[in-house]
Amino acid sequence: MKKILITGGTGYIGSHTAVELITENYKVHIVDNLSNSKIEVLSDIQKITGKKPCFDKIDLLNKKETDDFFKINNDFDAIIHFAAYKAVGESVAKPLMYYRNNLNSLMNILSNMQKYNISNFVFSSSCTVYGQPDMLPVTESSPIKKADSPYGNTKQIAEEIINDFLNANKQLKSISLRYFNPIGAHESAHIGELPIGMPNNLVPFITQTAAGIRKQLKIFGTDYNTSDGTAIRDYIHVVDLAQAHILAVRRLIKNENKNNSEFFNIGTGKGNSVLELVNTFEKVTGLKLNYILTKRRPGDIEKVWADTSLAYKELKWKAKRTLANALLSAWNREKIYRGIK
Ligand code: NAD
Ligand code: WQD
């Protein structure tokens, strides 16, 4: 049985990936400092899969703690590195906290990979590395523009650190998955996006407004150069995204990768506007959302969606789930979490 270390595995995308890995018969070990997730997620994973993953509460920013963990646990076939801070606005206010956490924890992991010769690494990158692309859909060879935020910059720098590290360690391999906008939840509704405080992202804001926790959704910007004037993104169901990690791990373990550092866009290949999302949510849930149209949110780009042909060609991955399905799963999760009938 192949053994996979998931950092940040009690988080949103990590927990869905843990479920998919366990379902595919991998042995999963999670490390997380629980700064943005809850220990109960482990029992939720067990409710879905029948198995509770091994877990250690480790702050990957703490080199000694991380090194001590690897002294005992180093027989992994692959590491999937999710652990990071991810709030764009917070990163503008607290840049050092973001650079420190997202980059030092990455380096603490990489140095242990090297030390124990753990060959395979999957990294959570982001479409944020492209900024507003000149051409759409955006491909992996589109230029990497100057980052819009310290958070975005941590992803760009992290990709560079991984490249330099692999150049110096040719026996090690990595796949960076550039996620577009992950949304939705597992169909069981046992796991989902954990809403700590005011959500930054659109879908948790929508579900919390529908649940009555937020008074009103603000739609940021109605004067974009798009069919209905609202901004366009590529919203990818989190379970489809989780499954891309399984294929990436498999490719690395089977040595099917073409370079020791590879990058893949993980999106649906289709853009949807904010209003389309809101309308679809209303349609699939039968609810009426209280929303207003307001001015643009500073720093937002107009439109982006992925060219996913490389992921299909190399990983044999493509998104299967619909936007309607993703929004309904997010709402089902919100209802269970809030005890709404
Ligand atoms: P999340 O916050 O739900 O999960 C991240 C997990 O990492 C959390 O459980 C948190 O407690 C943990 N963590 C953070 N710092 C840590 C540290 N120093 N030591 C140990 N654990 C630590 O976020 P997510 O949405 O699941 O995102 C996972 C990864 O995907 C992140 O790297 C994020 O930047 C990236 N990503 C997310 C999105 C998105 O919109 N959700 C999009 C693109 C990329
Ligand atoms: C989507 C659209 C908003 C909230 C962020 C990060 C990016 C990546 C994915 C990690 C935009 C609009 C939103 C609201 C709204 N994360 N919106 N009202 O900004 O595309 O990307 O998450 O790597 O780096 O920047 O996602 O969900 O915040 O916004 O109208 O209350 O919804 O303006 O057009 P975004 P989002």
For residue range 287-341, what is the model confidence (pLDDT) as tens digits? 999 999 999 998 899 999 999 999 999 999 999 999 999 999 999 999 999 999 8
Question: Mean of the pLDDT values across residues 230-247?
Answer: 98
Burial string for 296-332 (b: 16+ CB within 10 Å, else e) reads: eeeeebebbbbbbebbeebbebbbebebebbbbbbbb
153, 181, 281, best to mutate for ligand 2 pocket (most atoms within 8 Å of CB) = 181
For the chain, give the percent of residues with pLDDT over 70: 100
Give the pLDDT confidence score for residue 181 in this predicted structure. Answer: 98
Of the pLDDT bands very low, low, confident and very high (cuts 50, 70, 90), residue 197 is confident
Tell me how far apart the alpha carbons of residues 331 and 189 are, in angstroms, rounded to a whole number.
9
Token output for 43:
């029992």
| CA 298–ligand 2 middle distance (angstroms) | 11
pLDDT at 168 over 90: yes
Helix axes 40-49, 12-23, angle to 10 degrees: 30
The protein residue whose alpha carbon is closest to atom 15 in ligand 1 is 84
Among candidates 316, 171, 248, 259, which has minimal Cα distance to 6? 248
Check residues 220 and 148 and name the one with the higher pLDDT: 220
Report the catalytic residues.
151
Predicted structure pTM score:
0.98
User: Whose Cα sits closest to atom 28 in ligand 2?
Assistant: 201
Give the mean pLDDT of the chain: 97
Closest ligand by atom to 276 CA? 2
Phi, psi of 262 (to 5 degrees): -125, 155
Task: Reply yes or no on whether the pLDDT at 160 is more than 90.
Answer: yes
Asked if residues 272 and 233 have their Cβ atoms less than 8 Å apart, the reply is yes
Rounded to 5°, angle at Cα 271 from 237 and 226: 150
Residue 194 banded pLDDT, cuts 50, 70, 90: confident
User: Which residues are near ligand 1 (CB < 6 Å)?
Assistant: 8, 10-14, 32-37, 58-61, 82-86, 101, 105, 124, 126, 179, 182
- Write down the pLDDT at residue 148: 87
- The protein residue with its alpha carbon nearest to ligand 2, atom 19, reads 300
